[in-house]
Homo-oligomer: A and B are copies of this chain.
Amino acid sequence: MINNASLAAAPYADMSVRHPLTGRFLLGRGRERLTLEERQVLEDNVLSVKEVGARQTLVRRGEPLEHSMLLVEGYVTRFMDDREGYRQLVSVHVPGDFVDLHGFPTGRLDHDIGTLGPVKVALYDHQTLTAITNQHPHLTRVLWYSTLLDAAMHREWIFRLGRLGADGRLAHFFCELNVRLEMVGLAENGRFELPLTQPDLAEACGLTGVHVNRVLRDLRERNLMTFRSGQVEILDVAGLASVAEFESDYLYADMSHWTTVRAAHPI
């Protein structure tokens, strides 16, 4: 008997046997992009694995970087400070994201990185990445591609902040996280964990904590979604996407492997 939870995790479970660290990297983005050999190269070249508690700083703006980290478990965020010390989140990362791979070609970051909940990250030495990119042109383009997914999400965040009201911004934020977590098997039927507070959401959406609270109540009363103590439940995916003007194409999702699994294991 297969319950829903194990069903959803099946493709990752397959991968996690041989690739416990990199199994979620680019999972759900289209199967052919990364060959098995290439994934093995990534798995074998991890320098070390680090576990860090909640609300810790991982990288500071401007400091020279010698390694980049792939997020294995947990959630981290990238953010910038304004003059008064308020933060603007510029991205939230979920397991499978190569968080600061972009620090490899650039050598430093223009922002800070911090953990949200407790995390596990796999570290890659930049010298190792140089060697990998010297030997594997196709893998290099795939790594490049993965950093461009971040850029695509950045653009969508610009749209969110520039064109949407408070309700649309929050709705859009949750829609994006829902799709991304679905791709790596960490969301199902619109339900997922997200260790954020209301002030965190405010920093992500260019609002104040007080107003986030009011808008969340509004979304709840419209039967679109609920958010309580880090647990998200989207009740009306289409309705929420409509409020958000959300179209997921920018995430380059290809969920065919999930439907394959579902077809192979009919409920």
Contact = CB atoms under 8 A, between A and B. Distances in A.
B88 A159 contact: yes
B252 A158 contact: no
Interface residues of A, number: 44
A208 B211 CA distance: 23
A88 B151 contact: no
A97 interface: no
Interface string A162-199: 11100000000000000000000000000000000000
- Grouping DSSP codes into helix (H, G, I), strand (E, B) and loop, the A interface class, with mixed when no group exceeds half, is helix
How many copies of the polypeptide does the oligomer hold?
A: 2
A6 interface: no
A106 B147 CA distance: 10
B206 A162 contact: yes
A144 B140 CA distance: 9
A265 interface: no
A82 B159 contact: yes
A93 to B, nearest CB: 14
A161 B110 contact: no
A110 B249 contact: yes
Contacts of A152: 106, 110
A134 interface: yes
Contact of A147 (B142, B151, B162): B151
Interface string A59-101: 0001000000000000000101011001010100000000000
A137 B137 CA distance: 7
A155 B154 contact: yes
Contacts of A106: 145, 148, 152, 252
Contact of A148 (B80, B105, B133): B105
Interface of A: 62, 78, 80, 82-83, 86, 88, 90, 102, 105-106, 110-111, 130, 133-134, 137, 140-142, 144-145, 147-148, 150-152, 154-159, 161-164, 203, 205-206, 245, 249-250, 252
